[in-house]
Structure 1
Amino acid sequence: MNLTIDASGHSKVAILSGDGVVIGDVQDALDAIMNAHYLDCDKLMIRKELIHEDFFELKTGLAGEILQKCTNYRTKLAVVGDFSGYNSKSLNDFIYECNHGQNFFFKATEEEALKALHGVA
């Protein structure tokens, strides 16, 4: 797991990278959140390929548990990737609701994710 920082004004986003699945369970997500906080970041961006597929199968509860950890530790999260291949109505509704909130985002590009996390209109 590697973290780099993208700064815009007083806003800092930790960008998670790595090889293969980096977030496979709740503990991996908590480690990423804590590492970001260590770097004085309360915003985290990750590509969807780095997250275990169970995250996108809502009935597993993984997405809910990870987003709850983000909420508990006051961390905004953006997942970047192509979500058009998922045919689950509940997942599509979940993504829609997240994108209309202020703390969790599912964006097609890193640029869109950074704008959302930095709060750029």
Structure 2
Amino acid sequence: MTETTRGLTDSKVLVADTTPLHTLTDVVDLVGNASYQGVAWVAVPADLLPADFFRLRTGFAGEVMQKFVNYRVGLAVVGDISAHTQESTALADLVRESNAGTQIWFLPDLATLEGRLAR
């Protein structure tokens, strides 16, 4: 996986930008690496996540989010997920509730992440 660490504001952000996160092992590797590096947030492009992540009934999103919470590393899913939220009111509710919190966000781009971290 190609990962770049960016100093957005005062928080260290790891941008996972090439390897899809198809399995929980992929996620554990990423979040473990981020935790080891002292990274506060991991930004994952939405297109690197499998369709099952956006189908809440599969449980994959919950497992992924739980790993980030357990390691105390923030997760920002970055990109347009409107096609998924239009298909699922449960997902739209999850996105809205997550974005009101401090640990997991669904954002349109890295600039928005930078703005949220600057607050």
Say whether the fold is shared (TM-score over 0.5). yes
Structure 2: gaps of 5 or more residues:
none
CA–CA distance in 2 between the matches of 1:73 and 1:91? 23
Deviation at 1:9, TM superposition (A): 5.0
How many residues are treated as equivalent by the alignment?
Answer: 117
Contact in 2 for aligned 1:13/1:114 (Cα 8 Å): no
Relative to its length, the structure with more helix (as a share) is: 2
Tell me the C-alpha RMSD between the 2 structures. Answer: 1.3
Question: Percent same amino acid among aligned pairs?
Answer: 33
CA–CA distance in 2 between the matches of 1:66 and 1:114? 22
TM-score by length of 2: 0.91
Match of 2:71 among 56, 70, 73: 73
After superposing on structure 2, the runs of 4+ consecutive aligned residues of structure 1 that deviate more than 3 Å are: none
The residue type paired with residue 49 of structure 2 is: I
Structure 1: gaps of 5 or more residues:
none
CA–CA distance in 2 between the matches of 1:33 and 1:42? 10
Deviation at 1:39, TM superposition (A): 2.2
Deviations, residues 76-115 of structure 1 (Å, cap 9, x unaligned): 0000111111220000000000100001000111111233
- The residue number in structure 1 matching 2:35 is 37
TM-score by length of 1: 0.90
Q: Does 1:110 align with 2:110?
A: yes
How does 1:40-119 map onto structure 2 within 5 Å?
A: 40-86=38-84, 87-116=87-116, 119=117
The residue type paired with residue 75 of structure 2 is: L
